[in-house]
Structures are given as structure tokens and as C-alpha cells.
């Protein structure tokens, strides 16, 4: 990959200012440094992290910008991807959610060090608990490499306000995974509105699926902790 701002402009039609680019690169540097002592991400070379973390995180921006105004959550954020790059680019009030407390603590150390704590907070806990603490409070939610599509739709729906968007970053999901998600979208009050397939600078193929919260779930959510991922919903007959 060449220069980040040029790549994002030429391949994605996304404009990055100089100060945003500095912050994005400083975030990547800091995360890779922390990663030497703690397992935040398995991608540990700068060149591949620039593509797989920063370029990929930013690829979802047009869909995030299309969402209604309001709070943003990145669930299963790990090392803060796509959450921190999205927060840098959008200035939305951002919540970085992960069930592993020490990851959130380390990540918030990086966020504080970059002076980004005015609009980014951490939530060390499970998505199911966040759904009880802040139901319907988010205008947009992202997730990358967290769970199957059906599990994610169930976890995300109770977080979103009406017309809020879920921007789901995937590699190359199988037809079965997509079908299992589409089969239960109605049950959880979500609807697929866009699907984009794209290729990163290193040739890897990626997919973004965008869902809108169109109604209240037809069942009580969240279910018991862990069930969304252990026993994904099946369509009602
Ligand atoms: C493979 S990592 C992905 C990290 C990051 N999104 C990325 O793409 O680099 C998945 C993360 O999701 C978190 N996670 C999985 N299920 C979760 C849940 N129910 N609530 C909160 N975090 C969860 C895990 O702790 C882990 O840090």
C-alpha cells in the first residue's frame, strides 16, 4: 500500500485530512507497541496492519455516515478495529465494547495517549449486558471478526434505535452464513439494506453487509448470556 490518504481517495472515494491521517497512523503504532506484550491482534507487521486494520476499517465509512445521527458502538472491538479509526473519522460519540477487560483497559490507554478520550469510551463487558444497560441508544453499530451473522444480528438489534444501522465487516462469508442471518432478520427486527464486496490493497477479499433496524424484535432480547453465540436463533415455523 502506498500513502494511506491517496489509497483511500483513489480506491474508496474517502477523503482523509492530514490531522486524521496522523491520528490513524499514531493509533496503529501504539496498538502494535502494546501488542508486543499483550495479544490484542494477531496481525503484527506494520505494512499488513495498515491494510487489514486501517484500510479495512475505513472501507465501511460511507455506510456509517449514512446512518442516523447519534451514538456509535463497536462490539468485540479487540484492538479497536474498526472502532477507533471510525471514531477518528466521524467524531461520533463512540463506545468500544469487549468482554475481555484487560483488552479494553489497554485499548483505553492508547485512546487516552492519543488525546481521543473526549468522544471515545470503553465498555468492558458483554454485548448482552450492554443491551440491558443502554437499550436502543445507538444510531450505528459495527462488528468485525466477532461471530456469525445470525448471532450478531441478535446481539446488535436491542442496541439500535429505530432506523439505526448495523455495519457488519466480514471476509468472504459462506452462502449458508448469509442465509442463516437473512432467515432470522425479521425475527430480530432487522433488514439487509446493502451488501458491498471489495478488495483490499493486498488482494484480500472483503464483504460489508449493512442492516437497518426496522421494527422491535418479535422475541424478548437479549436472551440469556452466551445463547446468541452458542445456540443461534432459527426461523419460526
Ligand atoms: C477476533 S476479535 C476481533 C477484534 C476486532 N474487531 C478486529 O477485527 O480486529 C473478537 C473479539 O470479540 C470479543 N467478543 C466476542 N463475543 C463477545 C460478546 N458477546 N461481547 C463482547 N465482546 C465479545 C472477543 O473478546 C474478542 O476480543
Provide the pLDDT confidence category of residue 44 given band limits of 50, 70 and 90.
confident
Residue 213 covered by a domain: yes
Burial class (CB in 10 A: 0-12, 13-18, 19+), 3: exposed
Residue 94 covered by a domain: yes
Q: Are 135 and 189 in contact (CB under 8 A)?
A: no
Statement: residue 66 has pLDDT above 80: yes
Residue 131 covered by a domain: yes
Cα diameter, the chain: 54
Q: 3-state DSSP helix/strand/coil percent for the chain, to nearest 5?
A: 45, 20, 35
- For 52, which DSSP code? I
Residue 84 covered by a domain: yes
Q: What is the pLDDT of residue 13?
A: 96
Residue 66 covered by a domain: yes
Domain count, the chain: 1
Q: Which domain holds residue 38?
A: 4-230
Residue-wise pLDDT tens digits, 130-168:
999 999 999 999 999 999 999 999 999 999 999 999 999
As a residue count, the chain comes to 237
Mutate to test the pocket of ligand 1, among 28, 34, 42, 78 (most ligand atoms within 8 A of CB): 78
Dist. CA 159 → ligand 1 center (Å) = 16
In the annotated binding site for S-adenosyl-L-methionine, the residues are 76, 81, 127-128, 144
Q: What is the pLDDT of residue 58?
A: 98
Residue-wise pLDDT tens digits, 102-128:
999 999 999 999 999 999 999 999 999
Q: Which residues contact 6 (CB under 8 A, 6 or more apart)?
A: none
Provide the pLDDT confidence category of residue 2 given band limits of 50, 70 and 90.
confident
Dist. CA 143 → ligand 1 center (Å) = 8
Q: Are 149 and 232 in contact (CB under 8 A)?
A: no
Which of 31, 127, 42 has its CA nearest to residue 79? 31
Burial class (CB in 10 A: 0-12, 13-18, 19+), 171: exposed
Residue 151 covered by a domain: yes
Rounded CA separation 142/6 (Å): 25
Residue 235 covered by a domain: no
pTM greater than the 0.95 cutoff? yes
129 grid coordinates? 449486558
Question: Among the atoms of ligand 1, which is closest to the Cα of residue 80?
Answer: 5
Alpha-helical segments (H) within the chain: 4-12, 18-35, 46-49, 56-59, 61-66, 83-90, 101-113, 127-133, 149-156, 175-185, 227-230
Q: Which residues contact 135 (CB under 8 A, 6 or more apart)?
A: 158, 159
ipTM of this model?
0.99
Q: What is the pLDDT of residue 1?
A: 75
Residue 215 covered by a domain: yes
Kindly report the CATH number assigned to the domain that includes residue 146.
Answer: 3.40.50.150
Which of 133, 66, 45, 61 has its CA nearest to residue 95? 133
Mean pLDDT, the chain, as a whole number?
96
* Rg of the chain, C-alpha, whole Å: 17
Within 6 A (CB) of ligand 1 lie 41, 75-79, 81, 97-100, 103, 126-127, 144-146
Q: What is the pLDDT of residue 96?
A: 98
Q: Which helix (H) or strand (E) holds 164?
A: strand 160-170
Residue-wise pLDDT tens digits, 162-220:
999 999 999 999 999 999 999 999 999 999 999 999 999 999 999 999 999 999 999 99
Amino acid at each position: 500500500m502506498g500513502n494511506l490518504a491517496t489509497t483511500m481517495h483513489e480506491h474508496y472515494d474517502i477523503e482523509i485530512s492530514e490531522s486524521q491521517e496522523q491520528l490513524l497512523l499514531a493509533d496503529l503504532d501504539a496498538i502494535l507497541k502494546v501488542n508486543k506484550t499483550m495479544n490484542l491482534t494477531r496481525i503484527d507487521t506494520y505494512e499488513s496492519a495498515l491494510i487489514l486494520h486501517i484500510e479495512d476499517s475505513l472501507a465501511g465509512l460511507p455506510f456509517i455516515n449514512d446512518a442516523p445521527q447519534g451514538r456509535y458502538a463497536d462490539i468485540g472491538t479487540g484492538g479497536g478495529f474498526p472502532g477507533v479509526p471510525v471514531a477518528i473519522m466521524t467524531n461520533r460519540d463512540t463506545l468500544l465494547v469487549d468482554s475481555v477487560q484487560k483488552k479494553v483497559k489497554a485499548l483505553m490507554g492508547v485512546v487516552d495517549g492519543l488525546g481521543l478520550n473526549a468522544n471515545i469510551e470503553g465498555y468492558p463487558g458483554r454485548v448482552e449486558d450492554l443491551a440491558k444497560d443502554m437499550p436502543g441508544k445507538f444510531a450505528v453499530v459495527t462488528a468485525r471478526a466477532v461471530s456469525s451473522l445470525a448471532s450478531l444480528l441478535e446481539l446488535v438489534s436491542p442496541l439500535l434505535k429505530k432506523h439505526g444501522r448495523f455495519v457488519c465487516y466480514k471476509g468472504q462469508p459462506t452462502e449458508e452464513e448469509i442465509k442463516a442471518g437473512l432467515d432470522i432478520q425479521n425475527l430480530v427486527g432487522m433488514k439487509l439494506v446493502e451488501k458491498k464486496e471489495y478488495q483490499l490493497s493486498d488482494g484480500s477479499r472483503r464483504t460489508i453487509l449493512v442492516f437497518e433496524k426496522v421494527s422491535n424484535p418479535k422475541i424478548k432480547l437479549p436472551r440469556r448470556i452466551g445463547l446468541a453465540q452458542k445456540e443461534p436463533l432459527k426461523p419460526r415455523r
